[in-house]
Amino acid sequence: MRKPFLLKFLLAAVLLLGNTAFASDSDVEEGKDKKTEIKEFIEHHLQDSHYFNLYGTTDEHGKVHHVGIPLPVILWDNGLKVFSSSKFHHGEEVAEVDGNYYKLYHSKIYKTDAEGTITYDEEHHPTNVRPLDFSITKSVVMMLVTGLLLLWLFSSLAKSYAKNNSVPTGAGRFFEPIVLYIRDDIAIANIGEKKYKRYMPFLLTVFFFIWFLNMFGLTPLGVNVTGNIAVTTALAVIVFLITNFTGTKDYWKHIFDPLGDGMPWYGKIIIYIILVPIEILGLFIKPFALLIRLYANMTAGHVVLMSLVGLIFIFKSWVGGPLSFGLSFAISLIEVLVALLQAYIFTMLAALYFGFASEEHDHDHEHEEEAELAHL
Amino acid sequence: MEKLVNDFSFGLFFWQIILFVLLLLLLRKFAWKPILNAVNDREEGIKDALAAAENAKKEMQNVTADSEKLLQEARAEREAMLKEAREIKDKMIAESKDQAKAEGDKMIKQAQATIESEKKAAVADIKNQVAELSVEIAEKVIKEQLSNKDKQLKLVDDMLGDIKLN
């Protein structure tokens, strides 16, 4: 069982090296400054897309041909509009749906007239109306793929337990220690033996979800899902909701009455004018820090990696090429570590917040808690 | 910050929430619960097995101690039996010795009594013979010395006195 695993890791390493294939289509267009071109390419890569691009080629006329899968676009613009993103022709054409015209500009959809004119304000931001975009974008596809992968992986692991008398086999031998680590050193350590169980599904899901998406981000598919602010925000919102909906009396008392009964009320009032708003602010800052941390780390990793790859096309020399290749390879390896580390940190901090929320100082409310547990 | 807000896509946020919650619920039902239960069961199983092994060990020790005790008892009993047998043997020997002695004594006494009575009979016999002899002697003396009656009587008396002294 060992050998296939080694092979998989080697395969992963080869795929990581494949990152270099990325910059190839930014090589050709003349007259344009290389540096700005690379910068634009990186920015484009960091953004979500309505296409699942595999690679692009440029023909002799300087026209870029994209090879990939167009994804469905779903808009809410006075009614649901569903059409394929191939209608946009990568932003080159205006898509007409039910008498409305839409144009893709910098990976975002704007409502335009029949000619596709986009008006700008003085800071060169488009002023056109943006319809609500519920499209199945590249990131959504990757989330679906990751979700299905996780489901398949762990439900088959669960089944193998039933079959093999609770002994893990195959991939289970790799994943079981991780599951146990999350249980023992993240959940039990931060939440406590008594209440960790109801948080376990979330912690396990969020850990593997982030980890897998981070790792997918390092493959040549280059989907920067966890480096997307909307994705990390969604995760943080879920953490926020779970934290506050499972909060105990003690948790809320700590926020609105942090000093407790140790001080007379007239003394408390003066301090609480400052303290309570800070505590309430803290409620939001904690998940906010989570979302920014994950977003910034993953985005920074991608920027550094792609910039180093981009250096090859700036240096165009025998020294610079191998040097930036070596550097980007080293950073790739670090990014593999970061992918795991960020998933760990997110899970760890979420568990810490859950721990705060479910903390109890006295044991008078035990029966209430049990009733609540049973309800959940 | 403006870039962040600008980059924020509500559609993606929406899908992420929906997909993540769905994934969470599905994984909880089909993966995490069975896995965690299996792991828990296994841990409990290991604990139970260890406890059972410990119990078995203790029982084993008890059994060994019991058999040891039985062996000890058996040994003591054998010892006691041997001792008793020896005592009985000694007693029997002593008894038979006593009996033999008593028998011997009795026989000796009988023999002595017989000897005594034989002796008496012999003495009586001798006396008779002596008396007869004396009569014969007296006859002879009388025959020879009938003349002197006084002498005869005196002789008889002397002779009788001599025999008694013997």
pLDDT digits (tens, 9 = 90+) for A212-257: 999 988 887 767 888 888 889 999 999 999 999 888 888 888 888 7
- Is residue A248 within 8 A of residue A369, CB to CB? The reply is yes
Dist. CA A104–CA A23, nearest whole Å: 22
Residue A46 in any domain: the answer is no
Query: Dihedral of CA B16/B22/B28/B31: which sign?
Result: negative
For chain A, how many structural domains are there in total?
Answer: 2
Residue ending a domain, among A131, A155, A175, is A131
Buried/exposed code over A312-321 (b: 16+ C-beta within 10 A; e: otherwise): bbeeeeeeee
**DSSP one-letter code for B29:** I
Q: Which residues in chain A are contacts of B27 at CB distance < 8 A?
A: 150-151, 154-155, 201, 204-205
Please identify which residue in the block is written with the tokens 């039910």. Answer: A98
pLDDT of res. A254: 80
Q: Are strands A80-84 and A95-97 parallel, antiparallel or unpaired?
A: unpaired
Residue A48: per-residue pLDDT: 78
> How far off is chain A from B58, nearest CA to CA, in Å?
28
Q: What is the pLDDT of residues A249-278, one digit of tens each?
A: 888 888 887 777 777 777 778 888 888 888
Q: Where are the domains of chain B?
A: 29-165
Residue A121, judged by CB atoms within 10 A of its CB (0-12, 13-18, 19+), counts as: exposed
Domain that holds residue A196: 140-375
For residues A96 and A81, the answer to whether their CB atoms sit within 8 Å is no
Above 80 in pLDDT, residue A316?
no
Whether residue A10 lies inside any domain: the answer is no
Say whether both A106 and A183 belong to one domain: no
Same domain, A148 and A242: yes
Contact criterion met (CB < 8 Å) for A205 and B41: no
Query: Distance (Å, rounded) from C-alpha A204 to C-alpha A150?
Result: 11
Distance CA B60, CA A30 (A): 89
Bridge partners of residue A111, in order along the sequence: A102
The reply to whether A203 and A332 lie within a common domain is: yes
- Claim to verify: residue A248 and residue A334 sit in the same structural domain: yes
Q: Are A366 and A204 in contact (CB under 8 A)?
A: no
- Give, for A104, the enclosing helix (H) or strand (E): strand A100-105
* Confidence band for A32, pLDDT divided at 50, 70 and 90: low
Which residues are CB-neighbours of A340 under 8 A, at least 6 positions away?
A211, A214
Together in a domain, A328 and A345? yes
Same domain assignment for residues A105 and A150: no
pLDDT in tens, B87-113: 999 999 999 999 999 999 999 999 999
> Is the pLDDT score of A327 beyond 60?
yes
Residues 6 or more apart from A224 whose CB is under 8 A from it? A45, A46, A47, A139, A217, A298, A299, A302
A194 found inside a domain:
yes
Residue the block writes with tokens 């015209």: A101
Give the pLDDT mean for A93-103: 75
Strand partners for A108 = A105
Instruction: Give the residue ranges of DSSP H helices in A246-319.
Output: 249-256, 265-315
Contact residues on chain B for A137, CB-CB shorter than 8 A: 9, 11-12
Can you read off the two tokens belonging to residue B47? 């604990």
Give the chain B residue whose CA is nearest to the CA of A200.
B32
Q: Do A230 and B45 touch (CB under 8 A)?
A: no
**From edge to edge, which strands make up the β-sheet containing A100-105?**
A95-97, A100-105, A108-112
- Cβ–Cβ gap A205/B20 under 8 Å: yes
Together in a domain, A104 and A147:
no
> Is residue A258 packed enough to be buried (19+ CB in 10 Å), middle (13-18) or exposed (0-12)?
middle
The mean per-residue pLDDT over the stretch A60-86 comes to 76
Same domain, A193 and A216: yes
Structural domain ending residue among the three candidates A88, A110, A131: A131
| CB spacing of A230 vs B9 below 8 angstroms | yes
For residue B44, give how far its alpha carbon lies from the nearest alpha carbon of chain A (Å).
11
Q: How confident is the model at residue B66 (pLDDT cuts 50, 70, 90)?
A: very high
CA distance A167 to A157: 10
pLDDT confidence of residue A77: 77
Q: How many CB atoms lie within 10 A of CB B163?
A: 14
Range from A2-11, A66-75, A260-269 carrying the lowest mean pLDDT:
A2-11
Q: What is the mean pLDDT of chain A?
A: 79
Whether A233 is covered by a domain: the verdict is yes
Question: Which whole-number Å values give the CA distances from A347 to A115, A199, A291, B28, B99, in the listed order?
Answer: 49, 11, 12, 16, 106
Question: Does A164 lie in the same domain as A104?
Answer: no
Same domain, A112 and A144: no
Q: A109 — phi, psi (to 5°)?
A: -100, 130
State the Cα–Cα distance between residues A329 and A309, nearest whole angstrom.
9
A158 to B4: CB separation less than 8 angstroms, yes or no = no
Q: A222 and A256, same structural domain?
A: yes
Dist CA B137 CA A364 (whole Å): 150
- Partner B, chain A 126-185, Cβ-Cβ below 8 Å: 132-137, 139-140, 143-144, 147, 150-151, 154-155, 157-159, 161-162, 166-167, 176, 179-180, 183
Dihedral of the CA atoms A343, A298, A49, B3 (nearest 10)?
120
**A236: Cβ–Cβ under 8 A, 6 or more apart, which residues?**
A287, A288, A290, A291
SS (H, E, C) A327-351: HHHHHHHHHHHHHHHHHHHHHHHHH
Chain B residue numbers with beta carbons less than 8 Å from the beta carbon of A202 are 24
| ipTM metric | 0.76
Please give the radius of gyration of chain A, using alpha carbons only, rounded to the nearest integer.
25
